[in-house]
Structure 1
Amino acid sequence: MNAVAPHRAEPVAGGAHDVLFTPVALGPLTLRNRLVMAPMGTCLDESGHITDDTIAYYVRRSQGGVGAITVEGCLVSADTVGPEPKICSDDYLPGLRKLVDALAPYDVTVGVQLMHPGRQVVEGPSVAPSPVPLNSHAPVPHELTADEIATIVADYADAARRARDAGFSFVEVHGAHGYLPSNFLSPQHNHRTDGYGGDLAGRVRFSAEVAGAITGAVGPGMPLVWRINGEDAERDGLGLDESVAAARAIVDAGASAISVTAGTWLSLQVTLAPMSTPRGHMRRFAAAVRSAVDVPVMAVGRLDDPDMAAEVIASGEADMVLIGRGLIAEPDWPDLVHAGRLDERRPCIACNACVDLVGRGERARCAVNPEAGREREWSLNPVVTPRRVMVVGSGPSGMEAARIARLRGHTVSIWERDDELGGKLEVAGLAPSKHEVLRYRAFQAARLRTLGVEIHTGAEVDASTVASEKPDVVVVATGADPLVPPIPGIDGAHVHDAQRLLRGDVDVPTGARVVVVGGSATGCETAELLRERGAEVAIVEMARSIGRGIEAITRRQMVRSLRHDGVQVLTNATVVGIEPGLVRFTDAEGGEQELPADVVALAIGWRPSGKTFSGPLVEAGIEVRILGDADAPGDFVRAINTGADAALSI
């Protein structure tokens, strides 16, 4: 193939995003465009072996027009333990070959990431350059000897040979995010006094040896991409200046490209930024490395906005753009952008549900794409006999049920008592850090209209409404009603459901003292919004911590933000009474305390509404499906998947 110079790409005549679809060189390879699927774990393997589910997942992304795919990190050393696939012995080659062969029909360049977790392990041996634990709860890692380091370097080289034998076109070393090479680079965690520690020349030695061993093992025909942190985003961790110097050293050792990211296990809010983080927050790291090396550079960090992605390439900040979560949500992102069909892209809302599940060792799923993680079994088979399907409630589960049912050929109507579709999506999206949710709500509403779903808003539905519509099936997605426990004074005039405060139905003057009872997602979002508007806010929560039901990275970020903004957080606290001007509660020791309260917001929990609504319908002999919160309160992923499953079963 003819190489294309890896310098700044010039926009071509045509669409605003055409620069993304110009070819680019990766060593001796030529990628057809500048969009690369970032390596992200899926937990779709079995005991380290690639499965048919893994293959179907990557085939689906290959079909969408991406230029290259970097298959998720595979473990290079046999003594490491983790949920990742493995490439540490020939036993794993059949599955890896089968994966590469399955992607061959598509015009996509396929590589694989080589990974050693070092001290960042859930189980199994923890090793590191120095005996510095990950945190106070983690084991002290074993300090690697020089001989053990040499063995691991050889493991990387052997893994690269296996990648070549499996048919991969390139390999990438995960040298970022606090994994073993990153740990060596960190001045905070590498305290060695031998040739692998001390100044940067010592700390980069391990990475340089790995890069040299890999290129020596596979030869010049198989490019090596090195993933590095622009910064660790930790106190006294690797900073940008040293990162740039390290990148130069790794290129000198044989790397054909540098992929620039940031953060570690201790700063995941940077690595896997939640929706509250602005897009492109890591662009400057890629730009700094790009100005210092003469090989292609890949940028990452919420770059799934086509305008921003094109700007990154056209400006010369990077030569390629990595998209991870955006391709989980919308596998056809590249083709849709290339065709100018931007409104058809399902938006990734950076809710991190996919990350949270995999982090717990569960199979990948997506909060907005029910196909993700179950591509092998997914099929929208057209129905033989279309039926009249009436969906009552337009939250995430209701809208998804309506969409899938209509795609399969049913005649579908959706009914919502509020003036807009969305149900609780509307309320969730009102919090300052959750506006991305409204993008998804708008996308789904537009798709339903395009598909020809009959939409009724401002419509109260009861048994008589259903009787007049004469549906064959009623999908009950009416959500859940707020719990109102028997607390003395809870019916006071200054006590309101938190959703009313989020919607702005209650006037809360600047400086008002607000007590939010319940630290769930809704409680935290209410506190965030009211604090931004100038109220003095306290959260009172019975549990040991706030934010239950929120994905871990988003939760960590939100709790930090609330405390930073002056929200008082009281946990292990039980409200025992509400009076005009105050809330009484018991603390962890059982002592009674008081908080001043001009306004009280209730965010205590939910009670499913589905059975109450559906009871008369069932008695009338109507076929009913109850799903989402109407069946049992759950998270966004459950809502979307139950909506899809209900529609697939009709």
Structure 2
Amino acid sequence: MTGHEVLFEPLRLGGLTLRNRLVMAPMGTCLDAGGRITDDTIAYYLRRARGGVGTITVEGCLVSADTVGPEPKICGREYLPGLRRLVEALRPYDVTVGVQLMHPGRQVVEGPSVAPSPIPLNSAAPVPHELTADEIAGIVADYGAAAALAAEAGFDFVEVHGAHGYLPSNFLSPQFNQRCDEYGGSLENRARFSVEVARAITEQTGLPLVWRLNGDDGPSGGLTIEEAARVAAMVVAAGASAISVSAGTWLSLQVTLAPMAVPRGHMRPLAAAVKRAVDVPVMAVGRLDDPDDAAAVVASGDADLVLLGRALIAEPDWPDKVREGRLDELRPCIACNACVDLVGRGERARCSVNPEAGRELTWELKPAATPRRVMVVGSGPAGMEAARIARLRGHDVSIWERDDRLGGKLEVAGLAPSKREVLRFRAYQAERLAELGVVIRTGVEVDTAVVAREAPDVLVVATGAEPLVPPLPGIDSPHVHDAQELLRGEVAVEMGQRVVVIGGSATGCETAELLAARGAHVTIIEMRGSIGRGIEAITRRQLVRQLRHDGVEIRTRATVIAIEPGAVVHTDADGAAHEVPAGVVALAIGWRPTGAALAAPPGVEVRVLGDAEHPADFVRAINSGADAALAL
């Protein structure tokens, strides 16, 4: 008994029997080509099906031919072959397969922007075209036709994306639907579009319909949970077989795609409220990747099914490992949102902790033809992943770290209040390396002599990067420290003390966050026009909001020209000089790669990885480590 048995009980949904309570959430991948399903797309979903999830909802597919976006399409027969191949490929895995139907409305990347009312998404977005009644009827017909194509492709059910500010959600919002006809005003009128879409789908296809609904729009003036519960009952009356409850819009993505600082299960109360209003299965979502949390949602009756999104990108075998009680083997999703950020930029989905994600078609861990002695120096994300993959392939691997524990920059990054999840991945990787029999050497400074003594066949240099120290007047003052020293607690900062952080990068922001939480008065000085470069957009927005809430002063387009005993002097965008009081100064200006500092004897193959080669992000570090090990 694992204590999670409730997650593996079957459930009836419409005329379907789902083999367990775990559903893969629909998430964009950018693995399609011109709107068509590709072999890469199929391999991605196959990998999750093999991991034991009971139901897969394929990512949102566009229902209207005039809509332009990075999503796959289901608006014409030319898209049927790929959709059918996907369904047929998943059939052997005892998985129920559905597809999400979507119309982005005004939230388009390009192409026509339409909405119930001519209210733009933001000040930089175009004013959307206000749909006429005839145009609304045409889009309703598009949903019905798309559902018919889904049935022809062999899908078991369809889901309508009626949340997150897309077209049905936009109609429901009293903030953005200001119509005075039968599609605006009262809740019943605002829900009319959703009800008509639900009826068109169920009447034309007979497929079970899941309706994804916002329990709360997030911004003031949007749909509330009380209204959402009533809308859920309306779409059920119109034929929906289940309700999937989410929250947030483009304006509140920290709710929809919660970064690691947001508590797990933050949307669970919304699902529970909808569950009380309908008599069909309800799906809950929102950082429910902890097995105990997921089981509690179902056991309590707050929802009948649990959606796993980013968790299955990080750990495709999550269902099987939980069912078998192998909880310590779960690769943790750290909610860094790197996958979301890449797809949002139109790039293929990748993962910070799982280098296989997004390249399942070509991923193959073949045993090495000739096992070799591999010495990995540095245990940050690139070094640990290189060591793990190399050992899995049969190489004799050792990993060397100058600090007293593995992790490199992961250890420091995880000290910020909003980054604690990083430490879970550090612990996971360290445990895997120990289990695999990788020789671990900590507290050792590796130089050329150590490498010569060990005489490896391959030297993997993953020593990371060192902080940049600019030649500023006063830079050598005793009250000036590297920001990492403050994150580690090596420099005492008293309550109320004035701290200036020079540099608004990720490290600078995290240092400011930690010190402000401890009661210091913190000012960030940044040369660029904004802070948080290198941080994923949703996480950055949340972090900057928290910094401002905590009273951190942010000065951008400011250039430091000197550090004095009690102040930092900088110029503003106009060249005027200003002083900022500073009892402590933290340097977070940038990084310099260290890979060239370590040499190897003749005959030793050398590979330089991650920040040691070029300072970059977590995804690049993990993938560079994996790629190096796959090539050995």
> Under a length normalisation based on structure 1, what TM-score does the superposition of the two structures give?
0.97
2:239 aligned partner:
254
Shift of 1:569: 0.3
Residue deviations 1:1-54 (CA, integer Å, cap 9, x gap)? xxxxxxxxxxxxx32100000001110101000000000000000000000000
1:310 aligned partner:
295
1:166 aligned partner:
153
The partner residue of 1:274 within 259, 282, 294 is 259
Q: Please say if 1:459 is aligned against 2:444.
A: yes
User: 2-side partners of 1:511 and 1:556: how far apart?
Assistant: 26
The partner residue of 2:619 within 607, 626, 637 is 637
Q: Write the letter of the residue equivalent to 1:194.
A: D
The partner residue of 1:59 within 36, 46, 50 is 46
The partner residue of 1:230 within 215, 219, 223 is 215
User: 1-side partners of 2:575 and 2:604: how far apart?
Assistant: 51
The partner residue of 1:600 within 579, 585, 591 is 585
Q: Write the letter of the residue equivalent to 1:381.
A: K
Q: Write the letter of the residue equivalent to 1:431.
A: A
Q: Please say if 1:560 is aligned against 2:582.
A: no
User: 2-side partners of 1:457 and 1:509: how far apart?
Assistant: 32
Residue deviations 1:470-527 (CA, integer Å, cap 9, x gap)? 1000000000010001111011000000000000111111111100000000000000
Matching of residues 507-518 of structure 1 within 5 Å: 507-518=492-503
1:430 aligned partner:
415
| Structure 1 gap segments, 5+ residues each | 1-13
Residue deviations 1:357-393 (CA, integer Å, cap 9, x gap)? 0000000000000000000000000012100000000
Residue deviations 1:154-208 (CA, integer Å, cap 9, x gap)? 0000000000000100000000000000000000000111100010010000000
Shift of 1:611: 1.3
Shift of 1:343: 0.5
The partner residue of 2:573 within 588, 596, 600 is 588
2:197 aligned partner:
210
Shift of 1:588: 1.2
Q: Write the letter of the residue equivalent to 2:424.
A: R
Matching of residues 3-402 of structure 1 within 5 Å: 14-219=1-206, 222-402=207-387
Q: Write the letter of the residue equivalent to 2:122.
A: N
Q: Which runs of 4+ in 1 moved over 4 A?
A: none
User: 2-side partners of 1:25 and 1:428: how far apart?
Assistant: 44
User: 1-side partners of 2:74 and 2:293: how far apart?
Assistant: 35
Shift of 1:153: 0.3
Matching of residues 477-496 of structure 1 within 5 Å: 477-496=462-481
Q: Write the letter of the residue equivalent to 2:131.
A: L
Q: Please say if 1:408 is aligned against 2:393.
A: yes
User: 1-side partners of 2:287 and 2:494: how far apart?
Assistant: 36
Q: Write the letter of the residue equivalent to 1:525.
A: E
Residue 614 of structure 2 aligns to a residue whose secondary structure is: coil
Residue 511 of structure 1 aligns to a residue whose secondary structure is: coil
Residue 92 of structure 2 aligns to a residue whose secondary structure is: coil
User: 1-side partners of 2:568 and 2:368: how far apart?
Assistant: 56
User: 2-side partners of 1:401 and 1:107: how far apart?
Assistant: 34
Alpha-carbon RMSD across the aligned residues, in angstroms, is 0.5
1:11 aligned partner:
none
Shift of 1:296: 0.3
User: 2-side partners of 1:591 and 1:579: how far apart?
Assistant: 17
User: 2-side partners of 1:62 and 1:52: how far apart?
Assistant: 15
Q: Please say if 1:569 is aligned against 2:551.
A: no
Residue 105 of structure 1 aligns to a residue whose secondary structure is: helix
1:469 aligned partner:
454
Residue deviations 1:623-647 (CA, integer Å, cap 9, x gap)? 1000100000000000000000000
User: 2-side partners of 1:197 and 1:25: how far apart?
Assistant: 35
Shift of 1:107: 1.1
Residue 260 of structure 1 aligns to a residue whose secondary structure is: strand
User: 1-side partners of 2:594 and 2:623: how far apart?
Assistant: 19
Shift of 1:224: 0.1
User: 2-side partners of 1:246 and 1:105: how far apart?
Assistant: 37
The partner residue of 1:620 within 602, 607, 611 is 602
Q: Write the letter of the residue equivalent to 2:19.
A: R
Q: Write the letter of the residue equivalent to 1:99.
A: L
1:5 aligned partner:
none
Shift of 1:567: 0.3
Residue deviations 1:68-104 (CA, integer Å, cap 9, x gap)? 0000000000000000000000000000000001101
Shift of 1:612: 2.0
1:8 aligned partner:
none
What is the percent sequence identity of the aligned residues?
Answer: 75
